[in-house]
């Protein structure tokens, strides 16, 4: 039997001419769990059934027929494949089906499928079987996308080569990503299903940014500098800051311009920071944090704000004698450049940084949760605290520690699950 005939036979045998995918209830679970409002369980069932029917009935032309809109939107077929291999719902037969779909689409140069498979193979096959024929095939397809300036492929490559000591390397790919998007914005329409972790509100506890530290108006700041009780001007500016931040929690994050725009914004912001361009860095990170709601964006922005507050703290401690190099990105915090006004600016920077650490931690950033735990433990030893206040800080420290532990366990379980996954392909097609 020829290679082509063999593959056709495998295709028919694999699908057996009948619907063998997830049940309606299982699709409902996948769609709701991954928050895909534009994709219904009925869409998934109909698309997968049509996919299997075309593969069996049109053996000689089935691949090209898959790209015809009169069968189903190709993007919808991709999303179905994406859902079938998602780690939240791991059934070997369905996983094989998802990989079959994505591999077929990648063979037809459908870029979202190529990028998804490349990420999957980078995490699994590179460690287990780097000489895999399919792995090399997907690598070649991915490199073709980079040469063409595909925004998603270039962004992921920038993340892959990221080195804080040499940010210029990643910056080259990030520039290519933006140019690729600008050349043809219409080809990068993003559906919510592919946004997971890259934009959109993640599940968070209700108190996200509703309160500042309840002792910050009379106790020490995060830097341990004793300040006077809050002045009326500081109270007004603090209210302004909260009014600006609170709507961000209620406003839904926009969809990214391209799937991995969130990574683009965070990496470019970090690269600009490493190169000393703080204002540009903050602009990029504010897009990542406030428009796309990326946890890493909140975390990186909080680190920069904290660093700026530390500069102010040193300046205040030294008696304001030396000149101070202030970042233009934070000039709103320095409206009054008297000693009192700068002290208030330092407090505002610290308090917003703390809010952003909370957002990052509740969005799954382990390092942010660890920082908040240490902060609460430090506040336990502030002078003049009542027993109730100490108990409150102690409880908060335990909660942040528990969240950090939960994030670590989630990442560990996901990693172990990937290690235990069976062989991806036994050739060019999934095993039955």
161 in a structural domain: no
Whose tokens are 């498979």? That residue is 117
Walking along the chain (432 residues) 10 residues at a time, the average pLDDT comes out as 38 49 83 72 85 68 64 80 73 80 88 89 65 82 95 94 93 96 86 49 37 35 37 73 73 85 95 92 94 92 92 81 78 78 85 89 89 89 83 86 85 46 29 28
Segments forming the whole domain that contains residue 84: 3-108
Same domain, 360 and 259: yes
DSSP H stretches of helix in 148-166: 151-160
Instruction: State the first-to-last Cα distance of the chain, in angstroms, to the nearest integer.
Output: 19
Model pLDDT, residue 367? 93
Gap between the Cα atoms of 81 and 110, Å rounded: 13
User: In this structure, is residue 158 part of a structural domain?
Assistant: no
Which of these three, 328, 346, 364, is where a domain ends? 364
Structural domain ending residue among the three candidates 55, 76, 108: 108
Residue 354 and residue 212 share a domain: yes
Do the domain assignments include residue 90? yes
Residue 429 lies in a domain: no
Query: What pLDDT does residue 196 have?
Result: 45
Q: What is the DSSP letter of 321?
A: -
Is 122 contained in some domain?
Answer: no
pLDDT on residue 241: 76
**Within this chain, do residues 230 and 332 fall inside the same structural domain, yes or no?**
yes
Residues 239 and 101 in one domain: no
CA distance 146 to 173: 9
> Are both 104 and 204 inside the same structural domain?
no
65: three-class secondary structure by DSSP: helix
Instruction: Kindly compute the dihedral angle of the four CA atoms of residues 42, 44, 47, 51, in this order, to the nearest 10 degrees.
Output: -140
383 falls within a domain: no
Give the integer Cα–Cα distance in Å for 80 and 52. Answer: 13
Residue 427 C-beta-side C-alpha neighbours within 13 Å? 8
In terms of domains, do 64 and 210 share one? no
Phi-psi region of 16 (alpha: psi -120 to 50; beta: other; left: phi over 0): left
Same domain, 206 and 64: no
pLDDT at 274: 92
Domain presence at residue 397: no
349 within 8 A of 308, measured Cβ to Cβ: yes
Residue 22 in contact with residue 84, Cβ under 8 Å? yes
Q: Which of 287, 310, 416, 295 is nearest to 367 (CA)?
A: 295
**In terms of domains, do 202 and 59 share one?**
no
360, 211: one domain: yes
pLDDT value at position 124? 67
CA proximity to 59, closest of 99, 113, 4, 21? 4
Within a domain: residue 392?
A: no
Final residue belonging to a domain, choices 54, 81, 108: 108
Residue closest to 9 by CA, chosen among 48, 60, 45? 60
Which residues lie closer than 8 Å to 51 by C-beta, 6 or more apart? 66, 72, 77, 80, 101
Q: What sign results for the dihedral spanned by CA atoms 90, 91, 94, 95?
A: positive
Q: How many domains does the chain have?
A: 2
The encoded tokens of residue 426 equal 């036994």
| In contact, 298 and 365? CB cutoff 8 Å | yes
- Structure token digits, residue 330: 């934070």
What is the DSSP code (8-state) at residue 194? Answer: G
Structure tokens at 63: 């691949």
């Amino acid at each position: 039997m020829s290679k082509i005939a063999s593959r056709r036979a495998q295709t028919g045998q694999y699908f057996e001419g009948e619907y063998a995918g997830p049940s309606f209830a299982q699709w409902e679970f996948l769609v709701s769990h991954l928050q895909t409002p534009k994709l219904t369980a009925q869409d998934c069932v109909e698309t997968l059934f049509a996919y299997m029917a075309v593969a069996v009935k049109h053996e000689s032309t089935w691949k090209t027929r898959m790209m015809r809109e009169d069968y189903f939107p190709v993007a919808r077929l991709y999303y179905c494949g994406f859902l079938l291999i998602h780690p939240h719902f791991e059934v070997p037969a369905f996983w094989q089906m998802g990989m079959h779909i994505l591999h077929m689409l990648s063979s037809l140069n459908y870029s979202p499928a190529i990028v998804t498979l490349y990420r999957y193979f980078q995490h699994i096959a590179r460690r287990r079987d780097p000489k895999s024929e399919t792995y090399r095939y997907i690598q070649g397809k991915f490199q073709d996308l980079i040469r063409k300036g595909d925004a998603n492929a270039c962004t992921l490559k920038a993340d892959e080569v990221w080195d804080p000591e040499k940010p210029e390397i990643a910056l080259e790919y990030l520039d290519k990503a933006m140019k690729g998007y600008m050349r043809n914005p219409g080809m990068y329409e993003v559906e919510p299903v592919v946004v997971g972790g890259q934009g959109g509100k993640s599940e968070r506890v209700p108190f996200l940014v509703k309160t500042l530290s309840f002792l910050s108006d009379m106790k020490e700041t995060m830097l341990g500098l004793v300040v006077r009780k809050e002045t009326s001007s500081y109270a007004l500016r603090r209210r302004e800051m909260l009014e600006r931040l609170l709507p961000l929690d209620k406003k839904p994050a926009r969809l990214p311009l391209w799937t991995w725009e969130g990574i683009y914004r965070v990496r470019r912001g970090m690269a600009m920071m490493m190169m000393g361009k703080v204002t540009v860095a903050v602009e990029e990170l504010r897009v990542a944090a406030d428009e796309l709601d990326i946890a890493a964006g909140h975390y990186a922005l909080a680190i920069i704000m904290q660093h700026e507050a530390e500069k102010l703290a040193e300046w205040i401690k030294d008696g304001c004698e030396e000149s101070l190099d202030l970042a233009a990105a934070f000039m709103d915090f320095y409206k009054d450049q008297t000693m009192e006004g700068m002290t208030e600016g330092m407090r505002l920077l610290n308090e917003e940084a703390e809010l952003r650490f909370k957002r990052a931690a509740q969005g799954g950033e382990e390092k942010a949760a660890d920082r908040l735990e240490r902060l609460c433990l430090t506040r336990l030893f502030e002078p003049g605290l009542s027993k109730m206040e100490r108990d409150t800080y102690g409880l908060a420290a335990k909660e942040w520690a528990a969240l950090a532990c939960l994030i670590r366990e989630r990442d560990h379980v996901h990693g172990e699950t990937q290690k235990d996954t069976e062989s991806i392909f036994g050739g060019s097609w999934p095993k039955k």
